[in-house]
A and B are shown apart, each in its own frame.
Chain A
C-alpha cells in the first residue's frame, strides 16, 4: 500500500497540527480569510517568485523535517512530484491582468510555477503531474502519486498543495454565500512511498477525517486531504481513509499513515 512518510503543513494558524484551533470557525471570529505569511526565502533566484511558489517550497521543507529525510534523498529522477491547487494561480493571474507598471513575470501566472520552483529547489526530475481542483483533486493527486510508485516510475512521491486567498479577497467575497468560512490559506506536502496497492480509490462518502479537518482548520480547498493526513498521523492511526469533495464530486483513497 501507499505509505505516508511525512506531512508538512503550514496554515494561517501556524505550522503543523499543533497550531490548529479546536474550532476554526469560532477562532476566526469575523475574519473571512485567515492569511499565511510569505516564507522568508532570500536566495536571489526567488527574487521574482510568486508568494504561492514560496509557500510550496516551504511546505516541502516542512515535509522533509516531518519525514526525517535529507533533501538528498529526494533529488533526481526517482522522486515524482504531483501538485494540486484549486485557485492559488489566481493571485498571479490577477496581478498580471491589472498591472499598470511592471506586471509579474508571465511564467509565474501558470499553475506550473509552484511545482517548478519546488522541483528546482529540491532537484526533482521524476514523474510530474499538475492537477487543478479542490479537495477531490487532491485525492486524485494521491492516487496519481500511487500509480507512479506502483509502476516503478518513482520510489518516492511528493504531493504538494497550495491555496492562497488574500490577493483575490474581492473575488472570493462575491461568492461568500456559497464559500464556507473561514477561508484559511495553506500549503501542505505529503511524502509518499510504497507499492500503491489496496488504495480503495473511487467515489465515497465523507470520512470522519474530512469532517475533523474542516472543523479544525476551516476551508483550505485542495489542502484539506493533506490536513486530514496530518491529523491521522498525529492521532497515531495506522491507515487513513481520506476523502475530499469539490464541485459535487467526492473521492476517497486509503493510505498507510
Chain B
C-alpha cells in the first residue's frame, strides 16, 4: 500500500462540556476539569443513569442566532471558534464540509414524531446538520455526512483528506458532533453500558462509560497549499470493519489492528515512530482490554513505555465528536509538550498494562496515533504529526 499525501491541519474549533473554545477545552483537559454532571436538559428520572457530559449553556454566536436543532447549534459554535483562528479563503465551490455523527438530527426526528411538521422531519435526517453547517459557512463544495458510529469523527477526517488528495476540494472543514439526548441515553441505558460510578478508562475498577455531547471541527488543506502557521498534519488514516458483531468489538481487536496498521502504512511510518497514543478508552471492561492487546501487538515491546491517554473520563463519550476532539488533543499535546491525564485513572489493571497516568505530564510527542471504534464493527485510526 502506498503512503498517502500528508494533509495540513490548519486550525481547529470545538464546543465541549469543558469549554466552548479550543484553548478553554485544552486548558480544562490539562488541569483536570470534570465535564460530567447531572443531566438537566431532558427527562432522565426513569433511567438507571442520569449523568453525562452535558453542555449547560450555549453562547450566542456573533454571526447570527443559534439554530433550534441542538446538533446544528453545536456545529455552529465549533465553526465560529474555528473561524477565529483561520479564514476559509478559497472559492466557496472548492470548500467541502465533511462531518461525522452517530446520531445526526435524531432529536429532531423525535420532536417531529411528537409535534409534527415538515421542518422537524427533515431536520431529523442525519445529514441535515452538515448541510446547515455548509450553508452557514457558505461552502458550496461537497457536503458529506459520515456515520461510522463512534468512529465517525476519524472517518470524516479521512474522507476529507481523500477529497483534498484527489483535488476534489481546496479546503475541507471536517470533524464530528453529537448531542446528548433522551434517545441515546435510553439506548445506552438499555444496553447497561453506562456506569453509575466515575468513568475510569484503563483503571482496574472501570465499570462502563458515560455519554457526552460536543462538536469538533478542523480546517484541512493540501500540505503544499496550507499556511505555515498550522496545528500539524494528518499523515495517514485507515478504517476497517470487524465483521463479527452488531455492537461488540471483535474479541481480539482484529478490525482495530487492521485499521491501525493501515493508518501507519499510509503514513509511511512504523510503530516505532509513535510517540503518543490517544486511545478510544471508553472505560468499559471490554474496550480497554481489547485496545491494550492491539497496542501491544502493534507497538511491540515499546507498548509499555509509549504514553497513552483517554479524555473520555473528563468529557464522557462524545460519540461522533470524540475522534476529532482526540485528534485535536494530539496536536495540542505536540504543540505544548504535555499529555493530559486520564481522568478517573487511579489503579493500574494488569490486563491494561500501558503507560497511562491520571495526571497531566510533560511528553515530547511528534507523531501520535489516535484510535476509534463504534457500533457496527466500525474501526478507524489516524496518524498525526504536531507542528512543533
Minimum Cβ distance to chain B for residue A29 (Å): 25
Measured between beta carbons, the chain B residues less than 8 angstroms from A202 are 168
> In the complex, which residues of chain B have a beta carbon less than 8 angstroms from the beta carbon of A89?
126
A127 to B243: give the CA distance in the assembly, Å: 11
Of A106, A126, A174, which one neighbours B241 at CB under 8 angstroms? A126
| A211, CB-defined interface residue at 8 Å | no
Interface centre among A98, A113, A125 (most CB of B within 10 A): A125
Cα A174 to Cα B119 with chains together (Å): 9
| Residues of the A chain whose Cβ atoms lie less than 8 Å from the Cβ of B147 | 110-112, 130-132
Of the residues B122, B127, B168, B378, contact of A133 by C-beta under 8 Å = B127
Q: Does B188 have its Cβ within 8 Å of any Cβ on chain A?
A: yes
Contact of B183 among A97, A124, A131, A144 (CB under 8 A): A97
Decide if B246 touches A107 in the complex (CB within 8 Å).
yes
What is the 8 Å Cβ interface bit string for chain A, positions 86-118, against chain B (1 contact, 0 not)? 110110011011100001011111111101110
Cα–Cα distance between A107 and B242 once the two chains are bound (Å) = 15
Is A35 part of the contact surface with B, judged by Cβ < 8 Å? no
Q: Are A116 and B375 in contact (CB under 8 A)?
A: yes
B213-272 interface (Cβ within 8 A of A): 238-247, 254-255, 258, 262, 266
Instruction: Judge if A180 is at the interface, Cβ distance under 8 Å.
Output: no
Q: Is A37 an interface residue (CB 8 A)?
A: no
- Map CB proximity to A onto B99-137 as digits: 1 under 8 Å, 0 otherwise: 000101010011011001110011011110001000000
A129 contacts B by Cβ under 8 Å = yes
A97 touches B109 (CB 8 A): yes
Q: Does A7 have its Cβ within 8 Å of any Cβ on chain B? A: no
List residues of chain A with CB within 8 A of the CB of B4: 151
Closest chain-A Cβ to B120's Cβ sits at a distance in Å of 9
B145 sits at the interface (CB 8 A) = yes
Decide if B117 touches A174 in the complex (CB within 8 Å). yes
Given contacts A125-B254, A132-B145, contact A119 B377 (CB under 8 A): yes
A86 to chain B minimum Cβ distance, whole angstroms, is 7
Using an 8 Å CB-CB cutoff, how does the interface string of A139-178 with B read, 1 for contact, 0 for none?
0100110010001110000000000000000010011000
Most buried by B among A96, A123, A151, A251: A151
Residues of B within 8 A of A129 (CB): 146, 148, 155, 159, 239
Q: Does B78 reach chain A (CB closer than 8 Å)?
A: no
A112 with B378: in contact, given A129-B148, A201-B166 (CB under 8 Å)? Answer: yes
* The one of A93, A137, A151 that contacts B1, using a Cβ cutoff of 8 Å: A151
User: Is the Cβ of A81 less than 8 Å from the Cβ of B102?
Assistant: no
The answer to whether B245 touches A120 (Cβ under 8 A) is: yes
Taking a contact as CB atoms under 8 Å apart, the answer to whether A128 and B145 are in contact is: no
Give the distance in Å from the alpha carbon of A59 to the alpha carbon of B143 in the complex. Answer: 27
Known A137-B127, A151-B1; contact A126-B376, beta-carbon cutoff 8 A: no
Give the docked Cα–Cα distance between A247 and B149 (Å).
23
Partner of A113, one of B142, B187, B246, B258: B246
A144 to B155, CA, bound (A): 11
Collect the chain A residues with CB atoms within 8 Å of residue B243's CB.
119-120, 122-125
A238 touches B (CB below 8 Å) = no
Min distance, Cβ A152 to any Cβ of chain B, angstroms: 4
**What is the interface size of chain A, counting residues whose CB is below 8 A from a CB of the partner?**
55
Whether A147 pairs with B162 at a CB distance below 8 angstroms is yes
| Chain A residues, Cβ within 8 Å of B121 | 171, 174-175
What residues of chain A lie closer than 8 Å to B145, measured between beta carbons?
131-133, 137
Q: How far is the CA of A174 from the CA of B113 in the complex (A)?
A: 11
Provide the bound-state CA to CA distance between A153 and B146, in Å. Answer: 19
From A90, A93, A106, A119, B190 is in contact (CB under 8 Å) with A106
CA distance A93 to B122 in the complex (A): 14
**Which residues of B lie under 8 Å from residue A112 when comparing CB positions?**
147-149, 374-378
Query: How far does the alpha carbon of A93 sit from the alpha carbon of B100 in the complex, in Å?
Result: 18
A117 nearest in chain B by CB position: B246
For the complex formed, measure the closest distance between the CB of A174 and the CB atoms of chain B, giving whole angstroms: 5
What distance in Å separates the Cβ of A91 from its nearest Cβ neighbour in chain B? 11
B362 on the interface (CB 8 Å rule)? no
Question: Are the CB atoms of B109 and A93 closer together than 8 Å?
Answer: yes
Bound CA span A81–B242, Å: 11
Provide the residues of chain B in CB contact with A175, threshold 8 Å.
118, 121-122
Query: Which of A87, A96, A130 meets B148, CB within 8 Å?
Result: A130
Nearest chain-A residue to B239 (Cβ)?
Answer: A128
Query: Quick one: which of A161-203 are within 8 Å of B by CB?
Result: 171, 174-175, 201-203
- Chain A neighbourhood of B242, CB < 8 A: 119, 125
Task: Name the interface residues of B1-44: CB closer than 8 Å to any CB of A.
Answer: 1-2, 4
By the criterion CB–CB under 8 Å, are B118 and A174 in contact?
yes
Nearest Cβ on chain A to B160's Cβ, whole angstroms: 11
Contact A116:B376 (CB < 8 A) given known A90-B109, A106-B190: yes
A-B contacts, 10 of them at CB < 8 A, read A86-B127, A90-B125, A97-B113, A106-B191, A112-B375, A131-B145, A133-B127, A144-B162, A151-B2, A251-B142
Residues of B in contact with A (beta carbons under 8 Å apart) = 1-2, 4, 93, 102, 104, 106, 109-110, 112-113, 116-118, 121-122, 124-127, 131, 142-149, 155, 159, 162, 166, 168, 183, 186-188, 190-191, 238-247, 254-255, 258, 262, 266, 374-379
Interface pairs A-B: 4 shortest CB-CB: A112-B376, A116-B376, A106-B187, A119-B243
